[in-house]
Amino acid sequence: MDFFEAQARARQRTSRLILFFALAVAGMIAAGYFAAIFLLHHAGGHEAAQALLGRLDPHADSIVLWQPDVLGVVAAGTLFVVGAGSLFKWLQFSGGGGAVAESVGGRRVDPHTTEFKERRLLNVVEEMAIASGVPMPAVYVLDDEPAINAFAAGLTTKDAVVAVTRGTLEKLTREELQGVVGHEFSHILNGDMRLNLRLAATIFGILVIGLAGRGLLWGLRHARVRTDRDKNGGGLVLILIGVGLALLIIGYVGYFFGRLIQAAVSRQREFLADASAVQFTRNPAGLGGALKKIGGYALGSSMQSSKSAAIGHFFFAQGFRSHFGGLWATHPPLGERIRAIEPRFDGKFFDPPEVVDVGRQSFVSAGLAPARPAPPVLAPAAALAGLAAAGSLPPAAIDAAHDLLESTPDRLRLAAQTTGEARLLVCGLLLADDPAVRAGQRNIVGAHYGGESLRQLDQLESSLQRLRPEHKLPLLQIALPALRSLPAPALGTFLGTLDALVHADEHVSAFEFALQKTIARALALGRPGGEVVQIHSFNAVTAELSAVLSLLARAATAEPERAAQSFAAGAAQLPLVAAQLQFLPESTATLAQLDGALDKLATASPAIKQRTLVAAAHTVTADGRLLVAEGELLRAIAAALDVPVPPLGAVAA
């Protein structure tokens, strides 16, 4: 699965949806227009109705079909109601995936939970996050839902959540749970989450018209219709009833067709997510087993709370009964989904044995994770392979993520999941080897967080010393949910502390830059909608491309001639502007300049981002090697451009 192609498909789907919904709204406007013409014609003899609905010749023998003024009023009113309703719902979703999960009764899983099944769920999500290169999503459980279901929600990968029902935790094995989580990560990587939110907001906006009509009729339920002594008053009530009926019918007809569009799009998306999950996990039996259990259990995937109905198309499986002969079904039939995975499926569903609960053990001994072979040692081509796998979950990356987690000290994983300790853990990752610099950095931590923080940092010391370089950024990914929970003042203090630690030795390393950039992008929740594409031409970013490739070339080697060759290798991947790119001198090719360049490139089109990353990969591998620091810097650049990249050493060429 190509990340940029997936994003292009998401934009194409969005464009088609805009067209379809525009046609649906246009149909509603047309229906509302003709209803208004009819009502105005028959209301012409009532003075109060004229004052309410407009002027019309009551003596006209026939209905005048073309009345631009009426069309303008109806169109403006319809667009206003639909737009206001959609905006209201969108603002409700603007809090990100957490707001969606909590709106349907989700409970965030405590990272320190000792409950076996919740620990297993966290472990699976951590593996998927590290393998895909996306920030660790927050994990939620719907405790009141005994059926098997799950969903992913959010505006971007930075505020995504993965939520599962209680039934999913209790009824699925680890392999089946991994298949479900892989399915949800496919939605995250394919850009489906934002599309889902747009669908829900737009359909709610259309429904508001029907709700307005229903509310008007409900308000008139006790009104008395008198046409003899109070002709105008009685006529006005009749007109209001007519308006209410028109709004009710038009609104719900629009809602009907909106749901048809939503369901058709959702069904196709589910097939793609199933295929991607099997590709990620290399285990069709896992996802297939989860689907068979849905078919075998009495409750299946049915959601009990009506609050979940508005996001029914988010779920892993059909959450609510489909009406109109399956036309509103948001998911394909279970049999079709299973046969797409297992062509020899005989149509029989079954109840699997219960998972045995165990005490607190390591993930391997407790059965939380199967033993796997060590990830392969790869050549520098892993950088290009990693970028080719952007936006996906390669099976080798999942295996490598498992091994990274298993070899990470438990004390550090626990610290990464606690808000207070997560701050100190990140500070600990920045401590220098030089004793003098390290002492100065500890003083900085003590000045910002007090003496107790130094004692807590000492408790992490032995584990930090055993930490390998390739563990550091994955550990940071696990810590991001805890860091997101920091209040604004504490977050400002934390970022200031990090900056002071980075500059304590008056030198910014590739890892330090990667860590700061990753945190800055992952915690920048003030703009949940992501960057707006503003740049579509390579010519507009030649200075920024020169800065990126120049710094990478100098980071790859200290020899000026070889650095120039590395720069040339990267520039050759940008043939449209290769002649305009300049190899900058060391005095100007700084990380500060790279930071500004990446901020501008973040607003470039996906095509520019893709070629930039390819050129960057060729630059750092031109000397025939790929150092850990170079790989970290390359992944940080990808993260700054909002492109999730798996660990580079874990992707098979």
- DSSP state for residue 532 in the 8-state scheme: P
Could you give the CA distance from residue 206 to residue 259 in angstroms, rounded to a whole number? 10
* 506 catalytic residue (yes or no): no
Instruction: Provide φ and ψ at 601, rounded to 5°.
Output: -65, -25
Relative to beta strand 150-153, strand 107-108 is unpaired
Return the exposure string of 425-464: e unless at least 16 CB atoms fall within 10 Å of the residue's CB, then b.
Answer: bbbbbbbbeeeebeeebbebbeebbeeebeebbeebeebb
Which candidate, 521, 533, 609, places its Cα nearest to that of 158? 521
In sequence order, what are the residues at sequence separation of 6 or more whose Cβ sits closer than 8 angstroms to the Cβ of residue 453?
A: 424, 445, 446
> For 297-335, what is the HEC assignment?
CCCCCCCCCHHHHHHHHHECCCCCCCCCCCCCCCCCCHH
Q: Are strands 107-108 and 161-165 parallel, antiparallel or unpaired?
A: unpaired
CA distance 176 to 399: 16
What values do phi and psi take at 535, rounded to 5? -120, 125
β-bridge partners, 162: 139, 152
Question: Whose CA is closest to 212, among 81, 370, 345?
Answer: 81
Residues 6+ apart with CB under 8 A from 645: 133, 386, 387, 389, 390, 613, 634, 635, 638, 639
Burial of residue 637 (CB within 10 Å: 0-12, 13-18, 19+) is: buried
**Distance of alpha carbon 452 from alpha carbon 432, whole angstroms:** 21
Q: Give the per-residue SS3 of 102-154.
A: HHCCCEECCCCCCCHHHHHHHHHHHHHHHHHCCCCCEEEEECCCCCCCEEEEC
User: Sign (positive/negative) of CA torsion 76, 79, 81, 83?
Assistant: negative
The dihedral region occupied by 508, where left means phi > 0, alpha psi between -120 and 50, and beta the remainder, is beta
The values of phi and psi at residue 99, to 5°, are -65, -40
CB 331 within 8 A of CB 266: yes
| Per-residue CA distances from 627 to 358, 375, 516, 646 (Å) | 41, 17, 19, 16
* Active-site hit among 184, 512, 544, 632: 184
CB-CB contact of 619 with 632 (8 Å): no
Structure tokens at 287: 């996802």
Two structure tokens written together for 238: 């009749």
Show the tokens assigned to 21: 């919904």
Rounded Cα distance between 557 and 569, Å, is 14
The answer to whether the beta carbons of residues 141 and 180 sit under 8 Å apart is no
Pull the structure tokens for residue 626.
């790929």
Catalytic residues: 184
